[in-house]
Amino acid sequence: MTDISTEIAKETSKNGFSGAEYNAVAMSARLEGINLLSNSFIVDPDCLTSQLKWKLSYGRKVLMCHFSREEQTVTAILRYHVTAKHGRKKALNCVADYGIFYHTPDNATQEAAIGFCHNVGTFAAYPYFRALFAQLVGEAGINMPPLPSIASTAHIPAK
C-alpha cells in the first residue's frame, strides 16, 4: 500500500495540529457510515491460466476529505486498488471508492478532524474493500490469498 503521509500533509494547513487536538477528535468521533460508492473489476481471460505468475500491486488514496463545523462532520472518499500483471500485460484490475462519515466533537479543529479521517478512515474502510475483492476474485474463479493488512505512518504534530 502507498504511504498517505504526503497526502495528509497536502490537505492539512501549514500550521498542522497538536496531539491534543487530534486526540480530542479521536476520543469522541463517532463513525456514522461506510458506503461503497463505485467499483470496477476487470479480468483478462487470456491471463487466467497464468495466475501463479501474476505480480500484484496494491494502493490506496484519499480522493477528498471535507470537514463541516456546522454539521460537526468529517467525510472522505477513499479509493483502494489492486492490479495484477502477467509480464507487461494487465491480468486483473480492481478499483473501489468508499465514502466514510464521522460525527466530530464540538471543539474539533478542521486540521485535526481531516488528519483523523485520513488516518482512521483509511483503516475503517479497508476491510470492506478486502471483503469485496475476495468475493469478486472468488466469483471469477481466481485462487488468491487475502489482501495484506495496511500500515500507517505517524502524524507530525504542529511545532
**Alpha-carbon span 68 to 15, nearest angstrom:** 19
| Domain extents in the chain | 28-139
Q: What is the mean pLDDT of each successive set of 10 residues along the chain, which is 159 residues long?
A: 46 68 91 97 89 89 94 96 93 97 94 92 95 95 87 58
For residue 158, the model assigns a pLDDT of 56
Question: pTM for this one?
Answer: 0.83
According to CATH, the topology of domain 28-139 is Bacterial Protein-export protein SecB (3.10.420)
**Order of strands, edge to edge, in the sheet holding 55-68?**
30-43, 89-103, 73-86, 55-68
